[in-house]
Protein backbone atom coordinates (compact mmCIF):
# COMPACT_ATOMS: atom_id res chain seq x y z
CA UNK A 1 0.00 0.00 0.00
CA UNK A 2 2.88 2.35 0.73
CA UNK A 3 4.32 1.81 -2.77
CA UNK A 4 0.98 2.66 -4.34
CA UNK A 5 0.70 5.78 -2.21
CA UNK A 6 4.25 6.83 -3.15
CA UNK A 7 3.51 6.24 -6.85
CA UNK A 8 0.29 8.27 -6.59
CA UNK A 9 2.09 11.11 -4.79
CA UNK A 10 4.83 11.13 -7.45
CA UNK A 11 2.23 11.13 -10.25
CA UNK A 12 0.36 14.03 -8.59
CA UNK A 13 3.60 16.01 -8.20
CA UNK A 14 4.56 15.34 -11.82
CA UNK A 15 1.07 16.28 -13.01
CA UNK A 16 1.16 19.52 -11.02
CA UNK A 17 4.58 20.40 -12.43
CA UNK A 18 3.41 19.72 -16.00
CA UNK A 19 0.22 21.73 -15.44
CA UNK A 20 2.37 24.66 -14.33
CA UNK A 21 4.53 24.37 -17.47
CA UNK A 22 1.50 24.19 -19.75
CA UNK A 23 -0.28 27.05 -17.98
CA UNK A 24 2.85 29.20 -18.06
CA UNK A 25 3.01 28.83 -21.84
CA UNK A 26 -0.60 30.01 -22.32
CA UNK A 27 -2.13 33.43 -22.76
CA UNK A 28 -3.68 34.86 -19.57
CA UNK A 29 -7.22 34.31 -20.90
CA UNK A 30 -6.53 30.63 -21.54
CA UNK A 31 -4.79 30.22 -18.18
CA UNK A 32 -7.87 31.32 -16.27
CA UNK A 33 -10.06 28.92 -18.29
CA UNK A 34 -7.80 25.90 -17.72
CA UNK A 35 -6.17 26.29 -14.31
CA UNK A 36 -8.88 24.28 -12.52
CA UNK A 37 -8.79 21.27 -14.84
CA UNK A 38 -7.82 18.17 -12.86
CA UNK A 39 -5.00 16.87 -15.07
CA UNK A 40 -2.57 18.03 -17.69
CA UNK A 41 -3.98 15.37 -20.00
CA UNK A 42 -7.48 16.89 -19.67
CA UNK A 43 -6.11 20.36 -20.49
CA UNK A 44 -4.20 19.19 -23.55
CA UNK A 45 -7.08 17.06 -24.84
CA UNK A 46 -9.47 20.00 -24.52
CA UNK A 47 -7.07 22.38 -26.27
CA UNK A 48 -6.47 19.92 -29.11
CA UNK A 49 -10.20 19.53 -29.68
CA UNK A 50 -10.72 23.28 -29.51
CA UNK A 51 -7.92 24.28 -31.88
CA UNK A 52 -8.05 21.33 -34.26
CA UNK A 53 -11.37 22.61 -35.59
CA UNK A 54 -10.00 26.14 -35.97
CA UNK A 55 -6.92 24.74 -37.68
CA UNK A 56 -9.07 22.87 -40.20
CA UNK A 57 -11.11 26.00 -40.89
CA UNK A 58 -7.94 28.06 -41.33
CA UNK A 59 -6.52 25.45 -43.75
CA UNK A 60 -9.74 25.51 -45.74
CA UNK A 61 -9.80 29.30 -45.99
CA UNK A 62 -6.12 29.55 -46.93
CA UNK A 63 -6.31 26.83 -49.57
CA UNK A 64 -9.51 28.34 -50.99
CA UNK A 65 -7.81 31.73 -51.24
CA UNK A 66 -4.71 30.20 -52.88
CA UNK A 67 -6.64 28.20 -55.46
CA UNK A 68 -8.75 31.23 -56.38
CA UNK A 69 -5.95 33.81 -56.30
CA UNK A 70 -5.38 35.84 -59.46
CA UNK A 71 -2.72 38.42 -60.16
CA UNK A 72 -4.03 41.97 -60.68
CA UNK A 73 -3.11 43.95 -63.80
CA UNK A 74 -1.19 46.59 -61.86
CA UNK A 75 0.42 44.13 -59.42
CA UNK A 76 4.07 43.23 -59.90
CA UNK A 77 5.04 39.58 -60.30
CA UNK A 78 7.19 39.86 -57.18
CA UNK A 79 4.35 41.24 -55.03
CA UNK A 80 1.95 38.59 -56.31
CA UNK A 81 4.51 35.85 -55.65
CA UNK A 82 5.15 37.13 -52.11
CA UNK A 83 1.41 37.14 -51.34
CA UNK A 84 1.13 33.54 -52.48
CA UNK A 85 4.25 32.45 -50.60
CA UNK A 86 2.91 34.03 -47.40
CA UNK A 87 -0.26 31.93 -47.67
CA UNK A 88 1.73 28.79 -48.55
CA UNK A 89 3.90 29.34 -45.47
CA UNK A 90 0.79 29.74 -43.32
CA UNK A 91 -0.50 26.40 -44.64
CA UNK A 92 2.84 24.84 -43.81
CA UNK A 93 2.56 26.13 -40.22
CA UNK A 94 -0.82 24.39 -40.04
CA UNK A 95 0.93 21.18 -41.18
CA UNK A 96 -0.48 21.17 -44.67
CA UNK A 97 2.54 21.16 -46.94
CA UNK A 98 2.09 21.07 -50.71
CA UNK A 99 4.55 19.51 -53.10
CA UNK A 100 6.73 21.95 -55.02
CA UNK A 101 5.10 21.04 -58.36
CA UNK A 102 1.66 21.98 -57.05
CA UNK A 103 3.01 25.26 -55.68
CA UNK A 104 4.52 26.09 -59.09
CA UNK A 105 1.25 25.18 -60.85
CA UNK A 106 -0.71 27.37 -58.43
CA UNK A 107 1.56 30.32 -59.13
CA UNK A 108 1.48 29.83 -62.90
CA UNK A 109 -2.31 29.48 -63.07
CA UNK A 110 -2.74 32.66 -61.04
CA UNK A 111 -0.82 34.87 -63.49
CA UNK A 112 -2.53 37.39 -65.75
CA UNK A 113 -2.99 36.62 -69.44
CA UNK A 114 0.05 38.63 -70.53
CA UNK A 115 2.19 35.85 -69.00
CA UNK A 116 0.54 33.29 -71.31
CA UNK A 117 3.60 32.85 -73.53
CA UNK A 118 5.81 32.47 -70.44
CA UNK A 119 3.55 29.67 -69.16
CA UNK A 120 3.57 27.93 -72.56
CA UNK A 121 7.39 28.14 -72.73
CA UNK A 122 7.69 26.90 -69.15
CA UNK A 123 5.55 23.85 -69.88
CA UNK A 124 6.90 23.08 -73.37
CA UNK A 125 10.49 23.23 -72.16
CA UNK A 126 9.53 21.14 -69.12
CA UNK A 127 11.33 23.54 -66.84
CA UNK A 128 11.82 22.24 -63.35
CA UNK A 129 12.90 24.90 -60.89
CA UNK A 130 12.47 25.89 -57.29
CA UNK A 131 10.20 28.76 -56.29
CA UNK A 132 12.94 31.37 -55.94
CA UNK A 133 14.19 30.62 -59.47
CA UNK A 134 10.59 30.78 -60.73
CA UNK A 135 10.04 34.23 -59.25
CA UNK A 136 13.30 35.46 -60.82
CA UNK A 137 12.13 34.13 -64.19
CA UNK A 138 8.76 35.84 -63.71
CA UNK A 139 10.41 39.15 -62.84
CA UNK A 140 12.60 38.88 -65.96
CA UNK A 141 9.56 38.04 -68.12
CA UNK A 142 7.66 40.93 -66.57
CA UNK A 143 10.49 43.31 -67.49
CA UNK A 144 10.47 42.06 -71.08
CA UNK A 145 6.67 42.38 -71.30
CA UNK A 146 6.86 45.92 -69.92
CA UNK A 147 9.55 46.95 -72.40
CA UNK A 148 7.52 45.50 -75.29
CA UNK A 149 4.44 47.34 -74.08
CA UNK A 150 6.36 50.61 -73.76
CA UNK A 151 8.19 50.23 -77.09
CA UNK A 152 6.85 52.94 -79.44
CA UNK A 153 5.43 51.61 -82.66
CA UNK A 154 5.05 53.76 -85.73
CA UNK A 155 1.59 53.47 -87.24
CA UNK A 156 1.45 52.13 -90.80
CA UNK A 157 0.32 54.60 -93.41
CA UNK A 158 -2.55 53.55 -95.64
CA UNK A 159 -1.55 52.16 -98.95
CA UNK A 160 2.11 51.95 -97.99
CA UNK A 161 3.74 48.71 -99.05
CA UNK A 162 6.73 47.35 -97.20
CA UNK A 163 9.94 47.57 -99.19
CA UNK A 164 11.57 44.42 -100.55
CA UNK A 165 14.80 44.90 -98.64
CA UNK A 166 13.19 45.25 -95.21
Report the pLDDT value the prediction gives residue 110, as an integer from 0 to 100.
94
How much is the mean pLDDT over the chain?
A: 84
What is the secondary structure of 79-106 as a DSSP string?
HHHHHHHHHHHHHHHTT-PPPHHHHHHH
pLDDT of 53 > 70? The answer is: no
Q: Grade residue 154 by pLDDT with cuts at 50, 70 and 90.
A: low
pLDDT tens digits along 4-41: 989 988 998 988 888 888 888 888 888 888 878 888 88
Nearest to 146 by CA among 73, 92, 85, 53: 73
Q: Where are the domains of the chain?
A: 7-54, 63-149
> Quick one: average pLDDT of 129-155?
82
Amino acid sequence: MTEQRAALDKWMDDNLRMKCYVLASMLKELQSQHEYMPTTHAMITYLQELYREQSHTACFELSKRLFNMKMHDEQSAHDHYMTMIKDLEELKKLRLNMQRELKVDLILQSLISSFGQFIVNYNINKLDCNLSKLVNMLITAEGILKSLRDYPREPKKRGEMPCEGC
